[in-house]
Structure 1
Amino acid sequence: MKIKCNKEIIRKGFHVVENVISGSNVNPMLQNVRIVAKDNTLELSTTDMEVSVSYLIDSVEVITPGKMVGPETQISSIVKEWTEDSIEITEENNKCIIKGKDNFFKILCTDSDGFPTIPQFVDDEYIEIDKDVLLDMIKKTAFIILGDKTKHGTSGVFLEISDNHIKMVANDGRRLSEVKKKVENSHGISKSCIIPIKGMLQMQRIAGEQTDLIKIRIEEKRIFVKTKNSTLCSQLLEGQYPKYEEVIPTNLDKKINMDRNAFTSAIRRVSIMTTDEYKLLRFKFSDETLEIKCSSPDVGESKTVIPVEYFGEEIEIGLNPEFLLDFLKNVDSEEVLLELKDHGTAGVFRVGTGCTYVVMPMNLGDKKQV
């Protein structure tokens, strides 16, 4: 195998596939990248047996077709640090030779036949979704799983395709985010699955490299996400996703519109007085006013007042500021709508079209809140 390629093009490919590699994997073969050169294309592939990613480079000079399997960390590091415009990669006698005018590297490789088979995308029964829509859905859900230190929730994101909608849901037992968007569903697909967080992060990574529509195909035990150059295959989590709809309260008669930036800033100011053992903030809504207070027994007190659009009876509820800030920094609308019923019922935030965020209340009478 022998190819020549622009360094920036191949560098982009390694950026897409490198995060699949896990240093904790005991199988040395899974520390490698497979490189296949044919028909003036170069395909890079990595896998940890649960998540696989391939990236196809279609602007390569293939001098000699072939394939090789070599250590991803060393090869990608060389590519990242390459200073010349063009890079030449050759496989000779199980060695990867990378050279240019002023640089030369020779890396020991391994038998390519031992590399696991990478699942292939079947161009059937899929939906297409705009990359910005997909990235927005991931952003508004995956943060819950990433921030779940207690592991009380489901360690994956629920994805459902039905009619002309696609939906993502994440929860950790104390908060829940649901995002629903319209999508073309010409194949009439009606399927759902639970995607592990590593699969979600890789989906986010390859979508970020894309400019066109993205294809999503759900199979019985795995999901495929395909762009023009990248293909992701992730194993799915087994089991049924909890009936999360039961967590979303109804008949919420108190509705408060707030400026997102002002609300975020107020929470940050007051939460300066919180500690790891005490996370309670008290939110009191009255006519056109929100008062946020914290009375930490080990630190002190804080209070701030901001204007809001609310004209109902006075209501106070206790909420965890970290859960609110996590949500607020992952949305970009100017306003947020909060719907409440009483101090013992979960609060529901709504942003834009199709985004719902549910936060369980904290007991206002407890002396310690975490």
Structure 2
Amino acid sequence: MLLCLLFLWLPRVEKWRNMFQIGTLPTPSFPPSHSYYSKMWLLALSVPVLPGILIIVLSQYYHRANVRALCRRALGWALRLARGGSVCVKSTHAYVFSHCTHGNAQSVLEAFDGYDETHPSLCLGPQRGQVLDEVLRRVGPRCVLELGMHCGYSSIRMLRLLPPAGRLLTVEMDSSTAELGEELILVAGFKDSQFLVLACSSAEAIPALRPHLAPAHGDSSAEAIPALRPHLAPAHGDSSAEAIPALRPHLAPAHGDSVAFDLVLMDHDPQRYLPDLLAMEKERLLSPSGCHVLLVNRGQCGPALSDLMKYFNAWTENYSIVSEHRFMTEVFYHEDSCHARL
């Protein structure tokens, strides 16, 4: 725009200079070379501004979607700043409940993301969520523990990637948040048998988790035992009734993998990360064959994560760091001599 004005202005200046020279108008008070200096001043002014003008024009014509996204982020940041930093779980629940398609997990996640753009929220968000999705697809866990529910966003994100027989146990200290989060998980289309919400602190929940995992072991054997009867000879029907109860120990997987977690997401109080990890080791809740532990970093976990890293470096036979992101760290646990030191 500035360049166009420059080209329109130069001929006019030249015309005025010629009119002054032939005496059509009174001779101005400024020196005859004034128009020359005006041209040079305009040229000097336009040179540094020209790249910015070109970028704006190209952005409008070729990157309109990116410009709109940038403006939307700026507007969302301004709205979050105006609303303050307090997080309202009830407001999150009301927005998601009314802006999603019930029974559609992806629609529920998109409603969460839409709320997060303009309101303070504790949801993981799309960026952390993509990292979480990648880990679940790579690991393929059957049993997942989540510490810190935050209205159910990460719970829904993980449940949609678990296998049909997979199960999620999530712990949330605030009972109101746990209730609202559980409702949104049901709104997303998941069944009660696929997850369990415990409304208590992690310190209270971890020692009491094993009884909640035991039914999965019992159910699997209860389904397997009736399938054995067709393989038994009719003549031995009486003896099979005596043999079947003795089969249960042989149906339990080795090392108790059915009652241990393959993946743990820690997104609660960072000061509880290390104590809770030690408690899970003590209770043997981490799968001996391997458990992936995801540590969420929300920017206030510096000292807590530092202590964790020191612990991992001290016990490299049990822990190895798989990946480190600015907002999440993935650690792999496997049993070696861990229980001897506990």
* TM-score (norm: length of structure 1): 0.21
Higher strand proportion (structure 1 or 2): 1
Higher helix proportion (structure 1 or 2): 2
* TM-score (norm: length of structure 2): 0.22
Larger Rg: 2
